[in-house]
């Protein structure tokens, strides 16, 4: 895979001399008005300012034409995540196995001498899972941008080349992803405080805590949405321009400025598409899941619970897990691709990137 020469902010930019980087147009030789030439399209998108149809169409075209490097990389990353988490969980269990057995001995009572090591081991597994998931999702975002880099120019992208390129940019993308996650935690934290303040209001008969937290939620939610969209291009910048985290954030702010609502609307549309597809896949499985049999008179609680588990954890549960994994896999590729195409569109509009890409294609095309 080639490098990102001509994509970074250090490249000289200027508006194209004519439409889409071609010669100026105007009156034709016959005295009539000559329409602008169609924009070049060496890859999945035309090298011109993009509409919503081009952005979504280019995303789906990339997923179709470059399915092997895109989904192959994502499946390999998720498989590695499963192996890592299984290993960490096994090591954690082995380290506290004696304490777990002591807790489940007949007639045993809870003791902090046994419970504390178990809680520490559980917390370590949770923390390892959080960090591993963050790394895997950042890697998948970087792999999507690396694949799109070649897809825009119509060049092939191999699994190995995408893997190497994405791996080298994962630390920078991961740092940006952490900041975006912290931005999303603002409204989530406000919602948690709202839940706690509701119980305080019920217990104390005072609506002041609930009202203050509700006002905080009204302020924090639009602020988090504004910041998240403002930094939305940072992962693509970190991957495509080989930029550091802070540089990627600054670049994203400059590119989104003046196009916040457009970026928000198209990103929201992509999220709605993912949600609809997820519902279409999951709802039939939920309706097809058999209902547990009615409890027989005199049945014990354990027997009723066992019947419910049998009805919920059978072949239908396996289908549900497969469907959830496939929808998650598609979403993990689709959403970063939409954001990356939006990023390219903004650079075409603001920095004349179409001309640079056209020149890159013409230079690399073999002479006839």
Q: Give residue 102's pLDDT.
A: 76
Q: What is the band of 1 on the pLDDT scale with cuts at 50, 70, 90?
A: very low
> Taking 80 as the threshold, does the pLDDT of residue 29 lie above it?
no
For 210-235, what is the mean pLDDT? 86
**pLDDT tens digits, one per residue of 327-338:** 889 999 999 999
d(CA 306, CA 284): 24
Q: Give residue 269's pLDDT.
A: 95
Q: What is the band of 288 on the pLDDT scale with cuts at 50, 70, 90?
A: low
> Taking 80 as the threshold, does the pLDDT of residue 311 lie above it?
no
Higher pLDDT among residues 282 and 348, named by residue? 348
**pLDDT tens digits, one per residue of 175-187:** 999 988 888 888 8
Q: What is the band of 22 on the pLDDT scale with cuts at 50, 70, 90?
A: very low
pLDDT cut 70: percent of the chain above it: 76
Higher pLDDT among residues 230 and 34, named by residue? 230
Where in the chain are the domains? 48-357
DSSP assignment of 120-174 equals HHHHHHHHHHHHHHHHHHHHHHHHHHHHHHHHHTT----HHHHHHHHHHHHHHHH
Q: Give residue 145's pLDDT.
A: 93
Which residue spans within 38-126 are E strands per DSSP? none
> Taking 80 as the threshold, does the pLDDT of residue 362 lie above it?
no
> Taking 70 as the threshold, does the pLDDT of residue 270 lie above it?
yes
For 140-147, what is the mean pLDDT? 94
- Tokens 């196009």 appear where? 259
**pLDDT tens digits, one per residue of 243-264:** 889 999 999 999 999 999 999 9
For 296-307, what is the mean pLDDT? 57
> Taking 80 as the threshold, does the pLDDT of residue 20 lie above it?
no
Q: pTM surpassing 0.85?
A: no
Helix (H, G, I), strand (E, B) or coil at 16: coil
Q: What is the band of 3 on the pLDDT scale with cuts at 50, 70, 90?
A: very low
Supply the mean pLDDT for the chain.
80
17 Cβ neighbours under 8 A, 6+ residues apart = 23, 24, 355
**pLDDT tens digits, one per residue of 122-131:** 889 999 999 9
For 83-99, what is the mean pLDDT? 89
d(CA 172, CA 245): 5
Buried b or exposed e, range 228-250, using 16+ CB within 10 angstroms: bbbbbbbbbbbbbbbbebebbbb
Q: Give residue 292's pLDDT.
A: 57
Residue 33 DSSP one-character state: B
181 Cβ neighbours under 8 A, 6+ residues apart = 134
Q: Give residue 367's pLDDT.
A: 44
């Amino acid at each position: 895979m080639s490098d990102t020469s001509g994509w970074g902010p250090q490249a000289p930019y200027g508006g194209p001399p004519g439409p889409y980087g071609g010669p100026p147009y105007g009156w034709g030789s016959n005295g009539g008005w000559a329409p602008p030439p169609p924009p070049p399209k060496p890859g999945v998108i035309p090298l011109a300012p993009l509409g919503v149809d081009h952005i979504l169409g280019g995303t789906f075209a990339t997923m179709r034409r470059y399915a092997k490097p895109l989904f192959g990389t994502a499946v390999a990353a998720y498989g590695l995540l499963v192996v890592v988490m299984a290993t960490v969980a096994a090591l954690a269990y082995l380290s506290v196995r004696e304490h777990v057995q002591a807790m489940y001995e007949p007639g045993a009572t809870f003791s902090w001498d046994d419970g504390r090591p178990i809680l520490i081991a559980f917390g370590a597994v949770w923390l390892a899972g959080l960090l591993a998931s963050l790394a895997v999702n950042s890697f998948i975002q970087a792999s999507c941008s690396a694949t799109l880099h070649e897809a825009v120019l119509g060049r092939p992208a191999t699994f190995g080349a995408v893997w190497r390129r994405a791996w080298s940019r994962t630390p920078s993308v991961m740092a940006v992803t952490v900041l975006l996650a912290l931005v999303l935690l603002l409204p989530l934290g406000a919602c948690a405080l709202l839940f706690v303040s509701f119980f305080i209001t019920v217990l104390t008969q005072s609506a002041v805590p609930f009202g203050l937290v509700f006002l905080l939620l009204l302020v924090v939610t639009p602020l988090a949405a504004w910041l998240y969209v403002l930094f939305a291009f940072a992962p693509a910048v970190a991957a495509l321009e080989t930029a550091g985290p802070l540089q990627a954030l600054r670049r994203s702010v400059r590119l989104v400025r003046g196009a916040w609502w457009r970026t928000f609307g198209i990103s929201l549309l992509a999220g709605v598409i993912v949600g609809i597809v997820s519902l279409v896949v999951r709802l039939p499985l939920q309706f097809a899941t058999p209902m547990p049999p009615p409890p027989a008179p005199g049945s014990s609680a354990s027997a009723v619970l066992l019947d419910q588990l049998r009805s919920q954890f059978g072949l239908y549960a396996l289908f549900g897990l497969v469907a959830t994994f496939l929808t998650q896999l598609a979403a993990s590729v689709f959403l970063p691709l939409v954001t990356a195409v939006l990023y390219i569109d903004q650079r075409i509009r603001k920095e004349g990137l179409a001309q640079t890409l056209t020149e890159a294609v013409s230079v690399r095309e073999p002479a006839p």
